[in-house]
Amino acid sequence: MQRRQVLQTLASGAAALGLNSVPSAAQAAAKLPNIIFVLADDLGYGDLGCYGQKVIQTPHLDRMAAQGLRFTQFYAGNTVCAPSRSVLMTGRHMGHTHVRGNASSAGNMMIQSLRETDTTVAETLKKAGYSTALIGKWGLGEIDQPGHPLNKGFDYFYGYLNQVHAHNYWPDFLWRNREQVKLSNVVQKASRAYGGFQGGWATTKKEYAPDLFMKEALSWIGGHKSGPFFLYLALTSPHANNEGGAEQGNGSEVPSLGAYANAEWPEPDKGQAAMIAHLDQSVGSLLDHLAKLNLSENTLVMFSSDNGPHMESRHNPLRFNPSGPLRGMKRDLYEGGIRVPCIARRPGTIQPGRTSDHIAYFGDMMATFAELAGTQPPAGVDSVSFVPTLMGQALKQRNAEYLYWEFYEGGSAQAVRWGKWKGIRKPMRKGPVELYDLSLDPGEKYNVARGHQDVVKRMQGFMDAAHVPHPNWTVS
């Protein structure tokens, strides 16, 4: 029985007894916060002004940080798209979650689908009485697979199912629930196909997918303003167009270069800056819409990125320093590949202008959102609620013993964050462990493994314990 049904039953029983101590279902629902999780795609730790960006202007996200809480040691689920999102949705780290890598061909698309047995954040919140929606990029299940969004707790879906389809910002169709919605863009099909979808790039560009997502999101919020609702808004900026744009010399696709049109930079650099600025404006329109509907104070909005910054648009990353002070980028398990921006805002509940060095990651969303919804996360998840941190109650915050990642490309690697220590083992299971003291060396410049063999052994133990073998993801 769902939470709302239980409350209605209790309320009816209390009324029959002449009691007023049990709140009505409507009163109880009104106390549950709406939750919006906005996910950028390949946005680096240093890509926002509030995280030190000096070239690209991000006033709306900077304002969001000023009005809320900015995490300085927050991590994605992985260093590439699909497994990071699998961690986010299931609350299980990379040694336990089902999807542990990106699919590379049509023949292995099934490995990128969640299973019937995988419980998602959306399913957990739906059981607590929340309306749920996914708008944007999914990447964890195709139309005929068990991981389709409508099979995983979402009442409504609009966007891309396939991560390759999502490379095109002007597609000729998007999905609404289980139906294709034709768009007016004309797409030149590429020769390669993934899971029934043939990649390609737009030759006639009329409808920009990120703008369609924002229009849909604002409309859906307006239709569910009585709450409680959960919106997973998975935007695609500033991911590169890897199908046609990069091959044609510029993988940064945006309707207008805006303030960067006259910059004395190469076109890909202008496009990269404009994509991040467009993303920033989208978040601004979301926050303004919540204020217009008087939903700001009862809505937790969180913003983050699925992994570190890319260098796939032919742009020059040295111009923007997207990883900030951190080492590495997308496809690295160094900090620049997995430490990401994270901002939380709920006026009246989250004290403004705060920063937190609490160490958290995508998997913690499961326990955090479950606690906010007054329910329990699934058993066995690798998830610690950071509600005390959101509430400014640091002394009550529980910490995970360690955080864990593994990656199967480029020869494979494992990584562990344990307090101030960061360990990386390449290749998985048998390589030497690199050790870094992040309290003194956040840029991971100095491998101090030789002088701390006791810590190295602890790291090896964590890595061995965290990795559960999976038939789809093996290393030699």
Residue 199's pLDDT is what? 78
Interstrand relation of 74-75 and 131-137 (parallel, antiparallel or unpaired): unpaired
Identify whether the C-beta of residue 333 lies closer than 8 Å to the C-beta of residue 410. Answer: no
pLDDT exceeds cutoff 70 at 75: yes
Rounded to whole angstroms, the Cα distance separating 60 from 130 reads 28
- Work out the average pLDDT over 194-221: 89
**pLDDT class of 30 with cuts at 50, 70, 90:** low
Q: What is the CATH number of the domain that holds 183?
A: 3.40.720.10
Residue 269 inside a domain? The answer is yes
Same domain, 313 and 433: no
Give the model confidence (pLDDT) of 324-336 as tens digits.
999 999 999 999 9
Residue 110 inside a domain? The answer is yes
Strands annotated E in 155-280: 156-160, 173-176, 179-182, 186-194, 197-204, 229-234
Give the model confidence (pLDDT) of 135-178 as tens digits.
999 999 999 999 999 999 999 999 999 988 999 999 999 999 99
Residue 5 inside a domain? The answer is no
- Work out the average pLDDT over 411-428: 97
Q: What are phi and psi of 231, to 5 degrees?
A: -120, 120
Give the model confidence (pLDDT) of 209-224 as tens digits.
999 999 999 999 999 9
Residue 210 inside a domain? The answer is yes
Q: What is the CATH number of the domain that holds 451?
A: 3.30.1120.10
Same domain, 300 and 419: no
Residue 100 inside a domain? The answer is yes
Residue 194's pLDDT is what? 66
Same domain, 162 and 145: yes
Give the model confidence (pLDDT) of 250-278 as tens digits.
778 899 999 999 999 999 999 999 999 99
Residue 109's pLDDT is what? 63
- Boundary (domain end) residue, out of 373, 400, 427: 400
Rounded to whole angstroms, the Cα distance separating 268 from 312 reads 10
Same domain, 447 and 379: no
Q: How many domains does the chain have?
A: 2
Same domain, 448 and 384: no
Residue 3 inside a domain? The answer is no
Residue 101 vs residues 116, 292, 368, 470, 474: alpha-carbon distances, Å: 19, 40, 25, 12, 11
Using alpha carbons only, give the angle 348, 132, 164 rounded to the nearest 5 degrees: 115
Residue 207's pLDDT is what? 97
pLDDT exceeds cutoff 80 at 466: yes
- Boundary (domain end) residue, out of 355, 374, 400: 400
Same domain, 388 and 414: no
Question: What is the sign, positive or negative, of the torsion defined by CA atoms of 164, 170, 172, 174?
Answer: positive
Residue 475's pLDDT is what? 83
Same domain, 436 and 350: no
Same domain, 291 and 415: no
Residue 7's pLDDT is what? 42
- Boundary (domain end) residue, out of 400, 435, 451: 400
Residue 19's pLDDT is what? 37
In whole numbers, what is the pLDDT of the chain averaged over residues?
Answer: 91
Give the model confidence (pLDDT) of 82-125 as tens digits.
999 999 999 999 999 999 999 765 456 668 899 999 999 999 99
Same domain, 345 and 436: no
Identify whether the C-beta of residue 342 lies closer than 8 Å to the C-beta of residue 304. Answer: yes
Same domain, 233 and 208: yes
The domain of 296 spans 33-400
**pLDDT class of 17 with cuts at 50, 70, 90:** very low
Residue 198's pLDDT is what? 75
Same domain, 329 and 186: yes
Residue 2 inside a domain? The answer is no
Same domain, 283 and 413: no
Residue 8 inside a domain? The answer is no
